[in-house]
Chain A
Amino acid sequence: MGGGRKHSDVGIRNRLPFNAPQSGPFPGAPLLINWRYEDRGTLVQSLDPRARILLMLCMLGALVQVWDLRWLAGLFALAAAQYALARLSFRETARFWIFAGFIAIALTVFTALSGQSPAGYPARSWIHLGPVTLTWAQLWYALSQLIRILAISLLAIVIPFTINPSLYGVTFRGLGMSDKMAFAMDLSFRFVPSLASEFAGAMDAQKARGFELDFGRGSPVKKIRRMAPLIVPVTINAIVGAEEMVDAMELRGFGTGPRTWYSELTWRRRDCIVLLVSAVLFLGATGAHIAGITGLWVPGRG
């Protein structure tokens, strides 16, 4: 199947009972696992998954090298455009945004308050928060960090919602991985919902036996040992179950020769355009970084 064909079914959905409230393993942390792929027929989903992953990697490489907020704004706008074109509803991604937003804001506030400020910029005060004084340069530095983190989150959030899980294997194979590595990547994504279900089941079974994850009592060693009744059964059951899968795969001749894939990906003109844009972004950011023009920008310096 090419990247532009729609699937006859709605796509591969997970079978987990996520309609019910999640009883997560840790206090205040519901189980967040939710591969909600859906064939939306969007422009983003019509692109070859290989091109999309290369675009993500090139944009990441560009973001890492840039600190100038003007450049960052452009990259952020590109990432936001991809998110908008994916047509993901806020309800679908609300949990991700709450988590990512919390981390981004906490990191930015800490950076701003930690005193990290560009050397050589005037120490012009802007805000007094009790004993803490924020300078103009500190604020722009923190803002640049915030935009970077949000841009990285935007790039990554789109991928699991808009790439068909059945295409992960052939995608990574097409990116140059060996058959075995690509198949392992494919299997990893496929195992996540089933192992998450087992994890939740193990948690419920242990709770029925009086198990409580209480991080408030005892030494650090005791707190860690308290997690063992949850982690050990899930891990060992997964390994033991995997041994049967190994036997089944070997009986079917896995690894005896080159692997063929059920799906086929073909490059189209729009995918080539995406590749060109990716290369321009990464090479342009690298060249600009080498030329020394992507450093932190603080308006009003002088």
Chain B
Amino acid sequence: MNQGPDSRITKLRPGGRTKLLPVFGAILGVAACMALSTLTQKHAAFNIAAWAAWGIGAVAAIVIYAAASAHSACRVGTREVVMMAIGAALYGILASSTNWMTISGVSPVSLRPAIAIPVLFGSLFGPVVGFFTGAVGNILGDFISGIGVYPAWDLGNGLVGLVAGLSIIYVNRSRAINVATAIAVLTAAAAGAWMALQSRLVFENPITGHTVNHHPFWWVLTLGAAVLIAVRLGFRRKPELLSPVIWGVLGVIIGLGFASVADIWINGFTPVVALVGEFAPSAGPDVLMIIVLVPLLYSAYQNAVARSGR
């Protein structure tokens, strides 16, 4: 019999282990090629930072996989396979319906109410389902809309679902919420404080050589941390609804942040263009969509499960 969303944490049916190591190996190989190529460009200090960022990201991904893959939440059984397919198809269809609502002038970033789908599926069925829903769903949505394949954004959307799915590793919902909030708030506050202390934060576009001082934007991260704390306090009486929201917001920040930063090298944007032109207009509305739609979907799912008697 199928279980409700909370009981599945301890009563998951056994499933196959997902082979992600070859995928991570491929990601490392691509990162190594890109890192090697950037080292030959001028302004080595910036390129070394880029190389370090790729390396840290790849190592972090492998560490997270090694730590979490043994958990039953990361097993892939029949239920997970079907939910992956349903989630990806749903996300692709709903995303393609709104892909025409572009909100950024620098890339086809669009309003996306459907971002609630990978967050929901991740928080209900686990990080593997969440990753598949986000990544493959974004591919399907872009296929349907005919705007091409953007691997960085596919991976970014996958990360949204993956991070949202990490919440089910915690049996205690309040602890899951507090962990996610702490990670997001501390990271944002630390980054904002570091930026504020720098008198000049000049980054150079690796393609055009155009330089911009990013110091004035330190307040954006600090404001983001304050918003997260407000959300945490606003939903404190309903931890079962707050957990997917908080982890989903964290997922959006990590996933879409990754995709936006990747465009610095892929599309030749400056960091401010990537963050202000892509990350802010995509992540901002997405956070609002998650806060409004995910609790509705989560409650509807719980009611449907209760009515079906499964």
Instruction: Name A's B-contacting residues (CB within 8 A).
Output: 24-26, 28-29, 31-34, 56, 60-61, 64-65, 67, 93, 95-97, 99-100, 103, 106-107, 110-111, 114-120, 141, 145, 149, 152-153, 155-157, 159-160, 176, 178, 180-181, 183-192, 195-196, 199, 220-221, 224-225, 227-228, 231-232, 234-236, 238-240, 242-243, 245-246, 249-250, 254-255, 286, 289-292, 295-296
Contacts and interface: CB of A to CB of B under 8 A. Distances in A.
Contacts of A292: 40-41
Interface stretch (B53-61, B107-115, B245-253): B107-115
Interface in B199-237: 205, 207-211
Given A152-B149, A187-B82, A240-B308, A180 B76 contact: yes
Contacts of B288: 220-221, 224
Given A184-B88, A231-B116, A235-B117, 10 more contacts: A29-B97, A96-B145, A106-B105, A116-B205, A118-B207, A156-B142, A184-B81, A232-B300, A235-B120, A290-B40
Nearest to A249: B78
Contacts of A235: 90, 117, 120, 297, 300
15 contacts: A26-B98, A32-B97, A56-B149, A100-B147, A118-B209, A152-B149, A156-B147, A184-B136, A188-B140, A191-B85, A199-B97, A220-B285, A225-B292, A235-B90, A236-B300
Given A96-B146, A99-B146, A246 B79 contact: yes
B90 A238 contact: yes
Q: Is the interface of B mostly helix, strand, loop or mixed?
A: helix
A231 B301 contact: no
Interface string B242-282: 00000000000000000000000011101001000000000
B102 interface: yes
B12 to A, nearest CB: 13
A29 B120 CA distance: 25
Contacts of A295: 207
Interface in B18-36: 18-19, 22, 30, 33, 36
Contacts of B143: 156, 159-160
Contacts of B209: 118-120
A64 B149 CA distance: 11
Contacts of A93: 146
A95 B143 CA distance: 12
Contacts of B89: 187-189, 191-192, 195
Given A155-B149, A160-B143, A176 B210 contact: no
B136 A185 contact: yes
Given A119-B210, A178-B18, A249-B78, A231 B136 contact: no
Nearest to B142: A156
B205 A29 contact: no
Of A32, A111, A117, A235, which is in contact with the most chain B CB atoms at under 10 Å from its CB? A235
A196 B289 CA distance: 21
Nearest to B2: A243
A291 B207 contact: no
B97 A234 contact: no
A224 B293 contact: yes
Nearest to B137: A188
Contacts of A117: 208, 210
Q: Is the interface of A mostly helix, strand, loop or mixed?
A: helix
A33 to B, nearest CB: 5
B83 A195 contact: no
Given A97-B146, A116-B205, A192-B144, A240 B136 contact: no
Given A32-B96, A234-B90, A286-B33, A156 B146 contact: yes
A26 B137 CA distance: 19
A33 B16 contact: no
A296 B144 contact: no
Contacts of A115: 210
Nearest to B76: A180
A242 B86 contact: yes
B37 interface: yes
B268 to A, nearest CB: 7
B196 interface: no
Interface string B156-168: 0000000000000
A289 B136 CA distance: 29
B301 A236 contact: yes
B37 A239 contact: no
